[in-house]
A and B are shown apart, each in its own frame.
Chain A
Amino acid sequence: MTDEAKKEEQQAPKAEAAAPVLHVAPGPHAFSTSLTTRRMMFDVLLALVPVFAASLWQFRLYTVIQLVICMVSALLAETLFTAMRKKPILIRDGSALVTGAILAFSLPAKAPWYVGAVGSFVAIGIGKVIFGGLGQNIFNPAMLGRAFVMIAFPAFLGATAYVVPDAAIDGLSRATPLTTLKQLGQNTGLLPLFLGTTNGSLGETSALACLLGGAYLCLRRTASWEIPAGIVSAVAAIAGLMQWLAPVAGWTVLHELFSGALLFGAFYIATDPVTSPLTPRGKFVFGLGVGALVMLIRKLSGYPEGVMFAVLIMNAVVPLINQWTIPTPVGGVVLEKKS
């Protein structure tokens, strides 16, 4: 080999390095960066801020304590269970934090620490990771966790568990509005229900806070408006009908909407994309189902409130709703070729 050829050979890789390396990939080569899965999760946390504020005002430090217990447990559970499945641990996606927060906000203020912890572990472990992790679960993880602790520790989550007679906080000494209605036939004023100066689970008391956060979620389309619209329509229709057939003095459709976990559930729980239908029509049908079940449980069962069970039951129906609401493509259905 001549010196010149050697020189050339040495220079050749250099010249190549200077030229940009071109990549090959399937299209499209443009993508919207306005939304990522992680951003969706943080949107939910951001939308929970008004709920947190209302809860802090009403329940003081209990809110913070439950949130810390549930969110930390959820992160621990996520790490533990995904490690057991020998899968990459993806706590950075924020989904465990959302599950933890939703669970915390659906617990009574005075629930002991292990209620939140067990609930979170069941929510993440049995509610989500066992199914294959994020996106694979059938049931809303937070509601599954809550249902578990509700049955495991009925004393801490039943209607009476909400009442703490010797509590320093005024709100805690009274029964929840739906319990007083069911057991004593007493009504709660619309304004306390709207602002959240009543007793109840941590995140559910203030209709105003839920509406604010819910509006943000719907505007960002992190939550699909069709679901809360379906829930509210069904509850309003059934409550309206009942008011017309068998009026309860002082109890209106608005009372029905603003009390209990209805708005919190409509905006934050039922809108979990993983466990709700895919198409706009399916989402509305799902919402109607949740709303109807809530009214059924509220009026005909022993429980004062039914959002949790309504969501879980409808979760099970989602695959069916998806089947029923396969959209017709523009241009109609492809005709089978005659062979």
Chain B
Amino acid sequence: MGKLLEMTAVLTGLPGTGDFARGVHPPERKTLAQDAAIEVMPPPAQVVIPLLQHTGAPCEPVVKVKDEVKLGDKIGDATGFISAPVHASINGSVLMPSVTTLPNGRHVKTIPIKAGPDQLAGDALKSEVLGGNWPTSGLERFAPDQIATAARDAGLVGLGGAAFPTHVKLVRNEKRPVDTLLVNGCECEPYLTSDYRLMLEFPGPVVTGALLAAQAAGAKQIVVAIEDNKPAAADAMRKAAEGTAVKIAVVHTKYPMGGERQVIPAVLKREVPTGGLPLDVGVVVINVATAAALARAVVRGKALTHRVVTVTGAGIARPKNVLVPVGISYQELIDFCGGLTPDAARVIAGGPMMGFTVADLKVPVTKGTSGVTVLTHADLARVDETACVRCGRCVDVCPLHLVPTKLALASKVEDWDLAKKYHLLACCECGCCAYTCPAAIPLVQLMRKGKAQMPR
């Protein structure tokens, strides 16, 4: 069982080594769901669409109660440049708006939609979202700003988890030209396999989306980065990308390879400045699922209404990769996968390293939900927190070369001079330090608190 196949980094024609300094190797646990082909969920009776599913300003509703809406209709419009509209993910009628608290702690307004009688379902839905033919030539007919506008109108956000509005990255900036589009298929979070299944089963839309994104951003070079624990996905992508400008880079399997600040040096040997963006080094990074959604938005004119979610972990009866409408509840999704096992202890939105725990299974799945990981008491068994013995293990694993124990201490005692001296704001909260800490100190939590409290 274990690993799929041993492979090594392959980066033909690229300056990177396929690796970055430090980081950790948590158990991958991808075998739980990696062989489960993407399934389509039966249409739900209701969806609840949050008006804020992205990083940025929340949407304003553009529908009223009792309005009839169709799949893909805009129901909330973006209110600023860094914002993304939201759309109906089923056919139905609008119910009373309400509020919900998302797993990341944000309290947001929602628009519930009650399902109507006829719905696009099953294979028809799957083929509309991901299947069919995806052109790799003749894409010049889409002008760069046309692609960016389509991304914005489709409500496209980063599907890797951070949910940053995609059109912001694709709009050309004369002052900061882009030369490389990096499509992120690393999926370094343990357990999660949604990007893997997408690349394996539907590499077509990923390649088309990559070509379109590069055209929009003005990038000459297009690279898809895939960790070497997913050789089947790399092969499928290589085949689909044949004859196009898209290159496949196989990088080492190491957490957090999927982070922008790790994958860019690993592939391109460029360092993103602290506090800056990949754009500062001429790179735009989008996730493979985002690329596929961009292809659907531009070529088929469809909004981002569905996504692939991995439902996995020892606390789930039947781990699966599921194509779900945005706004479905965690409860329904978990029930579709056989429900929780009796020893389930923690439901996580995302993977175990950077995911947030879900307190209420009635909350909706959003655009940024890449997975639902359910851990058991056995997974979470751990020694109690003890004093820091300054062993420096956190320093040895921090991919950004910070000193987490000092940052945690500074945050704890609210010593902001010390926090600044040790570069608290550079922390990306990847969790390598807390994963490693022999004293079980909640380093990430402390630093997160410090970042929120520190006067800027």
Using a CB-CB cutoff of 8 Å, which residues 290-339 of chain A contact chain B? 322, 326-335, 337
Instruction: Kindly list chain A residues whose C-beta atoms are within 8 Å of the C-beta of B24.
Output: 32
Task: Tell me, in angstroms, the Cα distance from A184 to B359 when the chains sit together.
Answer: 76
**In the assembled complex, which residues on chain B have CB atoms less than 8 Å from the CB atom of A95?**
389
Q: Does B261 sit within 8 A of A, measured CB to CB?
A: yes
The interface residues of chain A lying within 8 Å CB-to-CB of B393 are 35, 221
| Contact A278-B403, Cβ < 8 Å, known A20-B342, A25-B346, A329-B274 | yes
Contacts of B439 in A (CB 8 A): 36-37, 135
B contact patch SS: loop
Q: State which of B36-44, B166-174, B348-356 sits at the interface with chain A.
A: B348-356
Question: Once the chains bind, are A31 and B392 in contact (CB under 8 Å)?
Answer: no
Contact B342 A326 (CB under 8 A): no
Count how many pairs of residues, one from A and one from B, have CB atoms less than 8 Å apart in the complex: 182
Which chain B residues lie closer than 8 Å to A224 at the CB level?
392
Determine whether the beta carbon of B344 is less than 8 Å from that of A20: yes
Q: How far is the CB of A284 from chain B (nearest CB, A)?
A: 12
B375 within 8 A of A: yes
Is A283 touching B352 in the complex (CB atoms < 8 A)?
A: no
Let me know if A27 and B356 touch, CB within 8 A.
yes
Q: Is the CB of B354 within 8 A of A28?
A: yes
With A27-B352, A28-B353 as contacts: A326 and B421 at CB distance below 8 Å = yes
B357 within 8 A of partner (CB): yes
CA distance in complex: A135, B389 (Å): 4
- Please tell me if the beta carbons of A29 and B352 are within 8 angstroms of each other in the complex: yes
B271 touches A331 (CB 8 A): yes
Nearest CB of chain B from residue A41's CB, rounded to whole Å: 9
| A36–B353 alpha-carbon span in the complex (Å) | 19
Which of B347, B386, B444, B448 has the largest count of A CB atoms less than 10 A from its CB?
B386
Question: Are the CB atoms of B390 and A329 closer together than 8 Å?
Answer: no
Complex Cα gap A208–B400 (Å): 38
Contact assessment for B275 and A334 in the assembled complex, using a CB-CB cutoff below 8 Å:
yes
Taking CB atoms, residues of chain B closer than 8 Å to A31 are 382, 434-437, 440
Query: Are A330 and B265 in contact, with the CB atoms below 8 A?
Result: yes
A224 to B393, CA, bound (A): 10
Query: In the docked arrangement, what's the CA distance between A24 and B406, Å?
Result: 26
CA distance A274 to B392 in the complex (A): 9
The residue on A at minimum CB distance from B432 is A28
How far apart are A145's CB and chain B's nearest CB, in angstroms? 18
Whether B347 contacts A30 by the Cβ 8 Å rule is: no
A333 to B423, CA, bound (A): 7
Produce 1/0 per residue, B181-218, CB < 8 A to A.
00000000010000000000000000000000000000
- B253-268: which have CB < 8 Å to A? 261, 265
Q: B357's contact among A24, A273, A277, A327, by CB below 8 Å, is which?
A: A24
Q: Are A135 and B390 in contact (CB under 8 A)?
A: yes
Tell me if A40 and B391 are in contact (CB < 8 A).
yes
- With A26-B444, A29-B375, A337-B456 as given contacts, are A221 and B396 in contact (CB-CB < 8 Å)? yes
Asked if A12 CB lies within 8 Å of chain B CBs, one says no
A134 at the B interface (CB under 8 A):
yes
Whole-angstrom CA separation of A322 from B400 in the bound complex: 18
Across the interface, do A329 and B438 meet the contact criterion of CB distance under 8 Å?
no
**Distance of A30 Cα from B348 Cα, bound (Å):** 11
Query: Is B32 part of the contact surface with A, judged by Cβ < 8 Å?
Result: no
Q: Would you call A27 and B340 a contact (CB within 8 A)?
A: no
The residue that B387 contacts in the complex, of A25, A36, A133, with Cβ under 8 A, is: A133
Name the residue of chain A whose CB is nearest to the CB of B391.
Answer: A273
Q: Nearest-CB distance from A42 to chain B (Å)?
A: 12
Residues of A contacting B434 in the complex (Cβ-Cβ under 8 angstroms): 27-28, 31
Contact A22 B442, beta carbon cutoff 8 Å:
no
CA A331 – CA B425 in complex, angstroms? 12
Q: In angstroms, how far is the closest chain B Cβ from the Cβ of A229?
A: 15
CB pair A22–B345 under 8 Å, yes or no, is yes
Indicate if the CB atoms of B395 and A280 lie closer than 8 Å.
yes
A19 at interface by CB-CB < 8 Å: yes
Q: Which of B340, B379, B390 contacts A273 (CB 8 A)?
A: B390
A136 sits at the interface (CB 8 A):
yes
Whether, in the assembled complex, B231 has its beta carbon less than 8 Å from a beta carbon of chain A, the answer is no
Q: Is B391 touching A23 in the complex (CB atoms < 8 A)?
A: no
Q: Are B275 and A22 in contact (CB under 8 A)?
A: no
**A335 and B275 within 8 A (CB):** yes
Q: Tell me, yes or no, whether A188 is within 8 Å of chain B by CB.
A: no
B332 at interface (Cβ–Cβ under 8 A)? no
Chain B residues 270 to 302 lying within 8 A of chain A, measured CB to CB, are 271-276
**In the complex, chain A residues whose CB is within 8 Å of the CB of B358:** 22, 24
Task: Report A50 CB to chain B, min CB distance, Å.
Answer: 23
In the bound assembly, the distance between CA atoms of A18 and B339 in angstroms comes to: 13
Inter-subunit contact A334/B426 (CB<8 Å): yes
Interface assignment of B383: CB less than 8 Å from any CB of chain A: yes
Q: For residue A311, give the distance in angstroms from its CB to the closest CB of chain B.
A: 15
What are the residues of chain A within 8 A of B401 when measuring CB–CB?
Answer: 327-330
A30–B190 contact, CB under 8 A?
A: yes
A22-B358, A329-B423, A331-B272 known; A32-B386 Cβ under 8 A: no
Task: Assess A30 versus B435: contact at CB under 8 Å? Given A330-B399, A331-B271, A335-B275.
Answer: yes
Residues A117-153 near B (CB distance < 8 A): 133-136
Chain A's closest residue to B382 (CB) is A31
* A85 CB, min distance to chain B CBs, angstroms: 13
Answer whether residue A279 sits at the interface, using C-beta atoms and an 8 A cutoff.
yes
Q: Does B5 contact A (CB under 8 A)?
A: no
Q: Is A60 an interface residue (CB 8 A)?
A: no
Q: List B contacts of A283 (CB < 8 A).
A: 392
Point out the residues of chain A lying under 8 angstroms from B361, CB to CB: 22
CA distance A93 to B383 in the complex (A): 11
- Contacts A22-B347, A221-B396, A334-B274 given; does A29 touch B357 at CB 8 Å: yes
Pairwise interchain contact B273-A331, C-beta atoms closer than 8 A: yes
Q: Are B399 and A278 in contact (CB under 8 A)?
A: no
A23 and B357 contact, CB distance less than 8 A? yes
Verify A278–B395 contact, CB threshold 8 A: yes
B26 within 8 Å of A by Cβ? Answer: yes
| Mask: chain A, 209-244; 1 = CB below 8 Å from B; 0 = not | 000000000000110100000000000000000000
Who on chain B is nearest to A29 by CB?
B352
Which chain B residues lie closer than 8 Å to A322 at the CB level?
Answer: 406
Q: Is B341 an interface residue (CB 8 A)?
A: yes
Contact bitstring B359-402, A, C-beta under 8 A = 1, else 0: 10100000000000101000110110011111111011001111
| A20–B341 CB distance below 8 A | yes
Known A330-B265, A330-B401: A36·B375 in contact at CB below 8 Å: no
A-B contact pairs, 11 of them (CB 8 A): A22-B358, A29-B346, A31-B437, A31-B440, A36-B439, A93-B386, A135-B389, A280-B392, A327-B403, A330-B274, A331-B426
- Besides the known contacts A25-B346, A30-B379, A326-B423, 11 further A-B residue pairs in the complex with CB atoms under 8 A apart: A27-B354, A36-B439, A38-B383, A273-B392, A278-B390, A279-B403, A330-B261, A330-B400, A332-B271, A332-B273, A332-B274
Cβ-closest 8 pairs across A and B: A28-B431, A135-B387, A26-B445, A331-B274, A30-B352, A29-B352, A273-B391, A329-B426
